[in-house]
Structure 1
Amino acid sequence: MTGAAGFIGSHMVRRLVAEGAQVHALVRPGSAPVRLEALCNKIRMAPVDLHDACAVRSAVAAARPDLVFHFAGQNRGLDTASPNAARKALAAILPPAINLIDALAQLPAAPRAVVRAGTIAEYGLSSLPYRESDREKPVNAYGAAMLAATRTIEMLAPGLAFPVTTARLALTYGPGQSDAFLIPRLVDAAICGRSVEVRRPGDRRDLIHVDDVVSAMLALACARDPRSRIINIGTGAAPSMREVAAEIVSASGCSPALIVHRAQSAGEKFAELRSDPSLARALYGWSPQCSLRQGIRQLVAGRRTPGHSHYLPDRADTYG
């Protein structure tokens, strides 16, 4: 698994360990995998620079994986539409994906399945709700680079001895997420009695709990007839950030005055990201089980647990 020390990847590691799997976790050299501290003696962890094709081949050959999950990839700081951002995004996302697929293709025994974390950001200005058959129209460098990786893998798929499924994930939240992201930042402020601003309260986002994402990725990997596909993993709903903040106020019991909603500017348009997850349900029998209300109440309860560090400091995170 790549990106094993990241937010989603670490949840996947815990799930796999709980189910008795032997996990080979690839992490960035020099990183401090704090999310995996409690699991270090239960997994095989290797520092690997995914931009180093030789290092990736060596790690993959040593692991001889049966199932592969690819979560690695920077998802912050790439949300603009400029040539410089595009260069950075492509450099961060595309070579690791190609190096991993190439290394897997050289194994004497091919893995049963490879599941890669894609993103709802690949759709951009496509019509709502997003469907897998839509023509994507990304609006920033991150979405464009992730789409480039999706299409590159799609181009390679006919020549591979294993299927590669791209799970286009909705915006994922849950325990262990960096407080640079809105939901953990709002929960932390509510519990600590600190004022916090919601800059775009009218934006609507398809929000999915990390436990549902993990279950979806496993369903894709363990399908009876795995195939190379693009599959939306989301809820099909898109609450506004104002509604999300109200849920956090209700769950925490904090004063609503702590949440400050920035006033909308004249002519300002709010954005909506919302996927249609019906194909995942039809093909894999998967559907999300954790409602937004349940997920937020879980986060609030975890934040209040004495001695329990629920969030990580603001820093560039990996997708997984």
Structure 2
Amino acid sequence: MEILVTGGHGFIGSHLCERLAAQGHTVRLLARPGADLGRVARLGLRVVPGDLADGTGLREAAAGVQQVFHLAGALKGFGPADLLRVNRDGTRRLLDACPPDLGRFVLVSSLAAAGPSPGGPSPRPGEAPEAPLTWYGASKLEGERAVLASGLPSVIVRPPVVFGPGDRDVFTYFRIAQRGLLPVPGDRERHYSIIYAPDLAEGILAAAGAPLPSGTVLPLVNPRPVTWTDLGRHIAAALGRKGRVLPLPPALLWLAGQAAFLVDRIRGEAGIFSPQKVVEMLAPGWVASGEPARTLLGWVPPTPLDTALAHTVRWYRDHGWL
């Protein structure tokens, strides 16, 4: 099958492209000129230069493909417009470039588009209206709406916190845990859904191939939520360390977020840690149900948490990150 992947050279996308290539598909990779393709260089993908921000190369990239996996997006910015430009408007440009006989458009969105869970280990009710908290979440929801309005056959998946080989975001926590500290944001424990990147790639493929009604929206999560303390202790165990819990008071997080945003403004480049990220960190929880994926796809993430963390630690050590 001829398949287009956007964001395929990123963390999650590289795991997906690896599986698509292993299944014998012909994979086109949309990438901006000068993008780092090191993660997927060995896979023999056809790279098509293009940019969601201005639509360059999108028609060439999508011409004649049977499926599109859209993972590319903006994670950070100085205001809502920075994120909407890519996550909403870029998605619309890509949809417009797709052939009318496209088999399926798969959007990899985020739990941030739905909004937080009410607190504790209970998942966010599936029937609850979307209520994103941040610019990022709102922009991802707008991207979902663009897909639904396009009329193309589609499925939308919403991953939670993702970790695994090649990840740089949760890696920060591994690095701190290596020093014996387990930071816990806020003044109380919060529960989170998580997923191991190779499992997520398999879940995305399961959703792409399942006979689902067009417009189906599915969280892809490990069915067992964790707290940051739980996750930190599992990470410490994978590292062979004992960790000491380090509470991070809300006031400290807000101060650090504002300071980081100011520094980013001065240097002219938005960073991941910002007041918007603090809003996410202090939300009641980010738990979604794995039941829809189990029921509709017959899919449950297969890798036990400790095994996934051990594989991740091994990758970090093999690549000199730890």
Structure 2 length-normalised TM: 0.80
Structure-2 change in CA distance of 1:309 and 1:113 (3 Å): farther
The residue aligned with 2:67 is: 67
The residue aligned with 1:38 is: 42
**1:91 aligned to 81, 85, 94, which one?**
85
The residue aligned with 1:53 is: 55
Unaligned runs of 5+ in 2: 255-281
What is the CA-CA distance between 1:247 and the residue it aligns to? 0.7
**1:147 aligned to 133, 141, 149, which one?**
141
2:52·2:86 contact (CA, 8 Å) conserved in 1? no
Q: Deviations over 1:272-300 (max 9, x none)?
A: 10001211211111111123222112112
Q: Deviations over 1:180-233 (max 9, x none)?
A: x2x312323444x47674444723211111112111111111124552211111
**2:298 aligned to 285, 290, 302, which one?**
285
For 1:261, give the aligned amino acid: P
For 2:145, give the aligned amino acid: R
CA distance in 2, matches of 1:149, 1:19: 28
**2:113 aligned to 99, 122, 127, which one?**
122
1:132·1:232 contact (CA, 8 Å) conserved in 2? no
- More relative contact order in 1 or in 2 (CA 8 Å, sep 6+)? 1
For 2:129, give the aligned amino acid: R
Unaligned runs of 5+ in 1: 79-83, 312-320
Structure-2 change in CA distance of 1:296 and 1:99 (3 Å): same
2:123·2:287 contact (CA, 8 Å) conserved in 1? yes
* Helix, strand or coil at the partner of 1:175: coil
The residue aligned with 1:5 is: 9
1:129·1:236 contact (CA, 8 Å) conserved in 2? no
CA distance in 2, matches of 1:22, 1:292: 32
CA distance in 1, matches of 2:202, 2:311: 18
| 2:163 equivalent to 1:173 | yes
What is the CA-CA distance between 1:54 and the residue it aligns to? 5.0
| 2:96 equivalent to 1:102 | yes
Q: Deviations over 1:283-318 (max 9, x none)?
A: 11111112322211211222233xx2569xxxxxxx
Aligned identity (percent) is 27
Q: Deviations over 1:148-192 (max 9, x none)?
A: 1112222222xx3xx1111011111111011xx2x312323444x
Structure 1 length-normalised TM: 0.81
Structure-2 change in CA distance of 1:126 and 1:194 (3 Å): closer
Residue pairs, 1:141-290, within 5 angstroms: 141-157=135-151, 160=152, 163-178=153-168, 181=169, 183-191=170-178, 193=179, 197-200=183-186, 202-224=189-211, 227-257=214-244, 260-263=246-249, 271-290=284-303
